[in-house]
Structure 1
Amino acid sequence: MSELEELLAVWLPRQRWFSGKGIPIRRLRILSRHRLLSAGDEGPDLNLLVVEAGQRGTYSRYQVMLGSRPPRALPADLARTAIGVCQVFGGRAQVVYDAAHDEQLTRLLLERFAAPTSEGRSEVRFRTVPGARVHTGAPGRLLTGEQSNTSLVFGREHVLKTFRRLWPGPNPDLELNTALSGSPYVAEPCGWIEADLPGSPTPTTLAMLQTFVPDATDGWVLATENVRSLLQGSSPERESSFAEEAALLGRTTAEAHRALSQALPTDVLSPGEISDLADAMIERLAMATAEVPELAEHAPRVMSAYSDFSRVDEPLPTQRVHGDYHLGQVIRPEQGWVLLDFEGEPTMPVQDRRSLSTPLRDVAGMLRSFDYAAGYLLIGHPGEPDLECSARAWAQHNREAFCRGYADGGGIDPEKHLTALRAFEFDKAVYEVLYEARNRPNWLRVPLDSIASAVAPSLPG
């Protein structure tokens, strides 16, 4: 490995968006380097790197926004973002650092959208949506809390989402946001960055520029604040007010699903394909049980739900869906709910995320999220049955409100598909068990408790 590659091999596993945590990087190489900005001998320079990390025989690609400056020219506020000092691409020794923190470079990055790239195919290309106006001049403010990607907010005008783990071809987030462009359900797409990666016949999406939605609150924050107030003894009226929000979110979700079905292909799952889908769920359960022994005592209950699902003899409609839908993927500005992050589960290959699926998968994901909002706040209160009863009642109340809103909005009526919905919920919960065991063991009881309490279909009917 080169000097820079050795530095990146140490730095990369410490980033929140690196998906291979806990597994040593055996090999790292820079696949491509795209020099976007250069300010001369004193810097700063901005390079977009595509690096390939090899771990246990598998290889994953990541995007690195690399800034470089002479050591004496690095501002003090960027010192904490330094990756190291090395010769950069055969030049002089430079400090290399995470450029997402450099306001000077991010301001210049936004300006590239004001002059979109011509049709040449040799470099990174900046594209704008026809008719979109990009407001330049503001530096990028790094959003915190993201797990898989990096987003920069420019004033109150734009947000640039940089995709960290790269898969060949167009990113589903860009694809589905474009399909919903002009609707109130998404932040309007303004442009994107793309490049040709080795081995990919089509351009790969590196980043997406959207309008910024100001004065909006994260759905997870709204929900957990409401649960916390309830557990602290707030009035029932406050609880019911969130149920109204849950119903509105259900309606908005159904309307977004309907818009996607009108803009993109649709199909149906035959009974045979449903049976194959149930078999895949069983395989995931077996894998999770082998890794997380605490799941074993609940496996018969989950298997029973999968067995029921395998015998469903009515076709299920399929279409493009969100794919990783939960309260953290929606925001609530004044005018109504807005959906975010349509890229699906980022650890899955992009071709799987672009496949058609039943909208019930998104419904199940959001229902699981209501359970999570309740169960998360019980982690610090073990052995308090009254609190647990109140939290579970809150979750059920809002789950029912969401499903009513979804059906009223023209979506598949969840009450008429309880067997399928229950199977998708269990499948999501099994995934959560694996995730928590690997990343947040103290949260493991949240999905396990949900599985243990799900002794009947999730909704009355």
Structure 2
Amino acid sequence: MSEAVTRPGITADALLASLDPLLRAWLPRQRWFAGKGRPISDFNLVSATELLPPTSELGFLHLLIQVRQPLVPGLAGGSPTLAPDCYQLLVGVRRELPPRLAPALIGHVTRGPLTGYTVYEALHDTRMSGFLLEALRMRARIGTLRFERDPRKNIDDGLAPRVLGAEQSNSSLVYGDTFILKLFRRIVPGVNPDLELPLMLARERCARVPAPAAWFLADVGDEANVLGVLQPYLKGTADGWELALRELAAGRDFSGEARALGRATAEVHLALARALPTVTLGHTQMELIAEGMADRLDTAAKAVPALQPYAPALRTTFEALADLGRGEGTWTAQRIHGDLHLGQCLRSPAGEWSLIDFEGEPSRPLSERRMPQPPVRDVAGMLRSFDYAARSREPWAPQWAGDCRAAYCAGYAEVAGRDPRMDPVLMRAYETDKAVYEVLYEARHRPDWLPVPLSAVKRLATNGPATEQH
């Protein structure tokens, strides 16, 4: 364990003993917990920091805690375990929990040094969440925690905090409709692209991505772990997914917005290509990309029987990509968004689009998420998102999806100078790879949605063009 800054007389082992039984019940219920369906074998406390003075009547614990789980669901004890996941927890400690904080309850401690206390999710306590903003504003250092900020950005004190309701793989706090603090839950050592890329884009003066105002890290060993990023809160913006569904339900055309979103995506790609090195992909690299796609297909087909009938045809798509790499052509790879879909896009009241959440697909290793990739991977993700929107309601609107997909590619070409549809083999391979990922995700997390990517898989298993919707 790293340095522990807790109340006098409370050791790390004793603190963990107090929290262990409560966390075993509470963690699997959280949307951001990645290990659902498997029991927890044990915990390891990486760091523990008391953010409030020892004399305070309240406690505010910042924890980085490793969770070990068996590899095989339903087995514990001597069964093989996956590499532990590390989670960021912010835990409030009170003698009694006021009614307003009842939904944040983790549990009542019955053993160890916190016996008799109640622990809860501290983000819902305005005193605790307000403390985080003040620490960022003042560039505080507390134990292993280091709070940093852009000195050119003004951060007012006393901004009222509130938890953003739509919690996904992370948690977010909004401060006075001025800033939003994204708190990463699953912590991976190394450079987090959700801080790295927006900082780079800010230096390129790319207005399509909100520039970070502040961030905080934990120094654990030789690694700096990014824990949270504070960015401007884009008040009045519309989430791209919700906007698309609303327009679709009203029977309104969305192709104009899709075209504008294509232009915005290309602007971000061009800025990233200026800010960071690009690489040329030859036949060896293309074959490795195709091999990775085929491996992911095999893994998904083993886990989802409904995918198996289509696997042979889908594999030919990846074989075509490998064959493409054996030719004379080359392709450019660069840093990209990595998990682009309508939900990662915001439209301002003036009609301008912004891109957010550059973390990449959380299920993939950080090293892979930070590798240069063909920009068409982002394009394919957005094309899949239009298809998702069209299939999220009845009757399915294939023409609506097809118009959006074509308009998005056309808008992208207006800025990038090349239409992504001019690389049909590459586009088809990346769209297929994304659909396979979606099948596995939905089977694990949202079985009711599984027919959506399966319908795309069925289409992609034919020989029609990648933008075909029928």
**TM-score in terms of structure 2 length:** 0.89
The answer to whether the Cα contact below 8 Å between 1:82 and 1:97 also exists between their aligned partners in 2 is yes
| Range with bigger deviation, 297-306 or 203-212 | 297-306
Give 1:300 shift: 2.8
Q: Are 2:459 and 1:453 equivalent residues in the alignment?
A: yes
Distance 1:39 1:186 in 2: 40
Spell out, residue by residue over 1:22-80, the C-alpha distance to the aligned partner (whole angstroms, 9 max, x if none): 1111112222101222484531x212100110012121000001111112xx2211122
- Aligned counterpart, 2:296: 284
Whole-angstrom distance in 2 between the partners of 1:431 and 1:412: 27
- Kept in 2, the 8 Å contact 1:248–1:402? The answer is yes
Tell me if 1:46 matches 2:69: no
Aligned residue in 1 for 2:49? 34
Structure 2 CA distance, aligned partners of 1:88 and 1:142? Answer: 30
Q: Secondary structure of 1:52's match?
A: strand
Structure 2 unaligned regions, length at least 5: 1-15, 71-80
Q: How far apart in 2 are the matches of 1:374 and 1:91?
A: 51
SS in 1 for 2:377: helix
- Code of the residue aligned with 1:147 in structure 2: it is Q
Residues 135, 147 of structure 2: 8 Å contact kept: yes
- Show the counterpart of 1:132: 153
Which whole-Å deviations, capped at 9, do the CAs of 1:247-284 have from their partners, x for residues lacking one?
00000000001101111121021112111111111111
Residue 375 of structure 1 aligns with which residue?
A: 391
Aligned residue runs from structure 1 range 55-454, under 5 A: 55-56=69-70, 57-58=81-82, 59-71=84-96, 74-86=97-109, 90=113, 93-117=116-140, 122-181=143-202, 182-198=205-221, 201-230=222-251, 238-239=252-253, 242-312=254-324, 313=327, 314-335=329-350, 336-378=352-394, 387-388=395-396, 391-410=397-416, 412-454=418-460
Q: Hey, what's the Cα distance between the residues in 2 that align with 1:447 and 1:92?
A: 49
Q: Is the 8 A contact 1:254 1:411 kept in 2?
A: no
Alpha-carbon contact 2:110-2:116 (below 8 Å) kept? yes
Q: Distance in 1 between matches of 2:93 and 2:263?
A: 48
CA distance in 1, matches of 2:115, 2:158: 31
% identical equivalent positions: 41
Counterpart of 2:424, as a letter, is L
Q: 1:412 to 1:301 in 2, by over 3 A?
A: farther
Alpha-carbon distance in 2 for matches of 1:417, 1:212:
37
* Distance of 2:370 and 2:455 partners within structure 1: 32
What whole-Å deviation, never above 9, does each CA across 1:405-456 have from its counterpart, x for those lacking one?
A: 1111116421211100100000000010111111111111101111212331
SS in structure 1 at match of 2:190? coil
**Aligned twin of 2:9:** none
How far apart in 2 are the matches of 1:105 and 1:87? 24
Give SS of 1:310's match.
helix
Q: Is the 8 A contact 2:18 2:115 kept in 1?
A: no
Q: What is the deviation of 1:226?
A: 1.8
Does structure 1 retain, via aligned residues, the 8 Å contact 2:18–2:113? Answer: no
How many Å separate the matches in 2 of 1:421 and 1:33?
A: 46
Q: Separation in 2 of the partners of 1:261 and 1:154?
A: 33
Q: Is the 8 A contact 1:4 1:87 kept in 2?
A: no
**What is the aligned-residue RMSD (CA, Å)?**
1.8
How far does residue 132 in structure 1 lie from its aligned partner after superposition? 1.1
Q: CA deviation at 1:93?
A: 3.3
Contact 2:173 2:181 in 1 (8 A): yes
Deviations 1:356-379 (A, max 9, x none): 11111100000000000011214x
Q: How much has 1:459 moved relative to structure 2?
A: 3.6
Are residues 32 and 68 of structure 1, via their aligned partners in 2, closer, same or farther at CA, if it must alter by over 3 Å?
Answer: same
Q: How many positions carry a matched residue from both structures?
A: 434
- d(CA) in 2 for partners of 1:39 and 1:244? 57
Residue in 2 that maps onto 1:234: none
Q: Distance in 1 between matches of 2:318 and 2:93?
A: 53
**Aligned match of 2:17:** 2
Partner SS for 1:67 = strand
Mapped partners of 2:319, 2:458: distance in 1: 18
Q: Distance in 2 between matches of 1:300 and 1:149?
A: 36
* Cα offset, 1:88, TM superposition: 9.4
Distance 2:277 2:467 in 1: 30
Q: Which runs of 5+ in 1 are unaligned?
A: 231-237, 379-386
C-alpha separation between the residues in 2 aligned to 1:298 and 1:349? 27
Contact 1:135–1:157 (CA<8 Å) still a contact in 2?
A: no
